[in-house]
Amino acid sequence: MLDKLNEIKKAALESLSFINDQAALEVWRVANVGRSSPLMQVFAEFGKLSKEQRPVIGAAANRVKVALESALEVKAQAVKNAALAKSLEEEKLDVTLPGRIVNIGRLHPSTQQLRHVLFILAEMGFQVYTSREVETDEYNFQLLNFPPHHPARDMQDSFYIEADPSTGSGRSEDNSILMRTHTSPGQIHAMREASATNPQNPPPIRIALPGMCFRYEQITARSEIQFNQVEGLAVGEGITFADLKGTLTDFVRRMFGAGARLRFRASYFPFTEPSAEVDVECFVCGGVGCQVCKNSGWLEILGCGMVHPTVLQNGGYDPRRYTGFAFGMGPERQLMLKNKINDIRYFWGNDVRFLEQF
């Protein structure tokens, strides 16, 4: 048995010396140290040996196995080094060839516009305030002067998540949960946080409230079930409509250029009184009239107004002492106007051909 082990070792090492590639090395490993190799058959015959022979033969077989495995490891490294040297010698790299262009990720166009809007408002002294996307009916409607069953609720179809279990209704219940239909609930949160610091003399606030809004609407070229919105709110003593007009005039000129013209039109929002909508001169035709502006020469960009006394009171501010203004705008709407985009669905369609243009 000892002579057989020596012959196995000698034959294996001799054949290993002629191997110079990885494939042949794998064949050698299977033939000499694999499960069916002659060496492994020696281990399988231990049961036929006497008690005195087993320790001697076992030790000798283990020495042969260690020697073959060590030789295999050394040879594997040598084959690997030889293959690398051959590759470096034969394969050429032309460093003058142009490299492959790496596609660099970028911000979504809606995010770019949202940050641009907030940058302008920050320069004008507005602090960014974020609020939650899931709201109660009370904050989303009632505290903003949308009482239960008020017809103005039909202006904003809503995604209700949870209704009052006693009635099964998701409309106009104090404890109903819904996805916010506008960023305006943040006005109440912000005013209540500020007034809580000093209930008798609440501090003035000037904030911008960005975020995603959700409305249960038919998806068309002009409407989506989700969209970004930026709300502006300023509350303090002596604030007038003139302050609102001056703020928005400055914003429009910073956003669309110093020569941009704008106009205010009377409108209606339950949480502001008086209310208005702001139009800017059409960027496409310069006010002459075209298909984009429906031949009016003007494009609507936002709604605004003086904060309703009821909303001020719900926020913890005495409307006899404090006044304020608010406005709301959509970044996607502004992008559509500036870049002549005729379908709002492009923003959430994830079409790379569209996104790469920004």
25-30 contacts, C-beta under 8 A, 24 or more apart:
25/72, 25/75, 25/76, 25/79, 28/72, 29/72
237 shares its domain with 319: yes
| Cα–Cα distance for residue pair 251/257, rounded to 1 Å | 10
For tokens 């000037």, the residue is 206
Mean confidence (pLDDT) of the chain: 86
DSSP code of residue 97? S
**Whether residue 341 sits in one domain with residue 246:** yes
Q: Are residues 124 and 67 in the same domain?
A: no
Residue 56 has pLDDT above 60, yes or no: yes
Q: Is the pLDDT of residue 169 over 50?
A: no
Examine residue 60 and state whether it is found in any structural domain, yes or no: yes
Q: What is the DSSP letter of 218?
A: -
Closest CA to 142 of 158, 118, 128: 158
Q: Are residue 294 and residue 193 in the same domain, yes or no?
A: yes
The better pLDDT of the pair 52, 348 is held by 348
Residue 37 falls inside a structural domain: yes
pLDDT tens digit string along 229-240?
999 999 999 999
List, for residues 184-240, the tens digit of each pLDDT value: 999 999 999 999 999 999 999 999 999 999 988 788 776 778 889 999 999 999 999
Q: Which residue has the tokens 């969209």?
A: 227
Identify the three-state secondary structure at position 207: strand
**Does 202 share its domain with 293?**
yes
* C-alpha–C-alpha distance, residues 315 and 205, integer Å: 12
pLDDT of 172 reads: 45
**Cβ proximity of 331 and 113 under 8 Å:** yes
Which CATH number covers residue 119?
Answer: 3.30.930.10
Is there a single domain that holds both residue 126 and residue 247?
Answer: yes
Tell me how many domains the chain contains: 2
**Rounded Cα distance, 239 and 211, in Å:** 26
Closest CA to 74 of 27, 16, 12: 16
Mean pLDDT lowest for which of 41-55, 141-155, 163-177?
Answer: 163-177
Q: Which tokens is 7 given?
A: 């012959």
Most confident of 239-248, 285-294, 331-340: 239-248
Q: Which domain holds residue 300?
A: 109-131+183-211+225-355
257 C-beta neighbours (distance < 10 Å), count: 10
pLDDT in tens, 120-132: 999 999 999 999 9
Confidence of residue 99 (pLDDT cuts 50, 70, 90): confident
Provide the pLDDT for residue 162: 67
Q: Is residue 336 part of a domain?
A: yes
Average pLDDT over residues 53-81: 84
Tell me whether residue 61 is in a domain. Answer: yes
Q: Is residue 217 in a domain?
A: no
Distance, CA of 308 to CA of 269 (rounded, Å): 9
Both tokens of residue 298?
């003007």
Final residue of a structural domain among 63, 90, 117: 90
Same domain for 72 and 114, yes or no, is no
Residue 288 located in a structural domain: yes
pLDDT digits (tens, 9 = 90+) for 300-311: 889 999 999 999
User: How many CB atoms neighbour CB 201 within 10 A?
Assistant: 9
Residue recorded with tokens 């103005």: 152
pLDDT at position 167 is 45
Q: Are residues 127 and 11 in the same domain?
A: no
Tell me if 159 is assigned to some domain: no
253-281 mean pLDDT: 92
| pLDDT for position 338 | 81
- Domain end position, chosen among 90, 121, 152: 90
Q: How far is CA 156 from CA 4, 25, 175, 182, 219, in A?
A: 91, 74, 19, 9, 14
**Out of 46-55, 170-179, 289-298, 349-358, which region has the weakest mean confidence (pLDDT)?**
170-179
Q: In this predicted model, which residue has the larger pLDDT, 182 or 57?
A: 182
Helix extents (H) in the chain: 2-16, 22-33, 38-44, 53-90, 109-123, 137-140, 185-197, 241-256, 309-314, 331-339, 352-355
For residues 278 and 312, state if they share a domain: yes
pLDDT beyond 70 at 357: yes
Segment 43-58 shows an average pLDDT of 76
Domain shared by 35 and 116, yes or no:
no
At 163, is the pLDDT very low, low, confident or very high (cuts 50, 70, 90)?
A: low
Is 148 inside a domain boundary? no
Query: Looking at 61, 90, 119, which one is the last position of a domain?
Result: 90
Same domain assignment for residues 230 and 293 = yes
63 and 123 share one domain: no
